[in-house]
Amino acid sequence: MIARHLSVTRTARYYLSREPGPEIRELWIALHGHGQLARAFAKQCAVIEAPHRLVAVPEALNRYYIGDPAVQQTTQSVAKMGATWMTREDREAEIADYVGYLDVLHADLRNGLAAAGAAEDVALHVLGFSQGVSTALRWISLGSLGTHRPARAILWAGSVPPELTAEQLRAATAGVRTTLVAGTRDEFATAERVAAIEKILSDANVEFDTRRFDGGHRLDDAMLQELST
């Protein structure tokens, strides 16, 4: 049996906080976690909306039913949907696909900002939550951002991709204000896991700071507001 790959056209969905305009000085790209959809995640990011800020929330290309659709059909309940950036199956191809997707999205947003009269130096901020953290780090490391490197990367309750080398992490975050965030009661981003991520970044000579808030595996409005000012 021979496995082969074929690139095809996909229709991706994303949400914007507002129409691009000449007043925009910051472009935020917020990457949701496993099992979330972009529309719901965009609502969670609404607290950082501002006249000078454009927030874009792309949705991962792989959608699926959460739970057992057969049980939901029997009980006549609406099946809940989620999306994931990747799985372990054919992972290299899925990583390449979403890195390319985010490159295209970023370029399209830049073109839209330019057409709306925004300055060329609109600052890019990347926010990754949970699975979106690995997605963000892979995109910053492997994508084609060119001269529009992020001014800031917020890595919220996620992990560092194991395949990224210290050199890749250091190069990707050079000049990028990098912040780790996790709730004090997060069952996934525990204190031990946060400490492990801190060690990985420290060993790679990545400059970063760590912020904690009282809560679980979720975004926190007060922390988001603080990080956006």
pLDDT at 73 over 70: no
Exposed e or buried b for every residue in 88-107, given b needs 16+ CB within 10 A?
eeeeeebbebbbebbbebbe
Helix (H) or strand (E) holding 54: strand 53-58
Task: Mention every residue, 6+ apart, whose C-beta is less than 8 A from residue 168.
Answer: 141
Does residue 78 lie in a domain region? yes
Q: Specify the pTM.
A: 0.94
Q: Which domain holds residue 151?
A: 14-228
Does residue 103 lie in a domain region? yes
Q: What's the number of domains the chain is made of?
A: 1
Q: What is the Cα–Cα distance from 78 to 61, expressed in whole angstroms?
A: 21
Report pLDDT digits (tens) over 11-68.
Answer: 999 999 999 999 999 999 999 999 999 999 999 999 999 999 999 999 999 999 997 6
Which one-letter DSSP state was computed for residue 60?
P
Does residue 2 lie in a domain region? no
pLDDT at 164 over 90: yes
CATH code of 28's domain: 3.40.50.1820
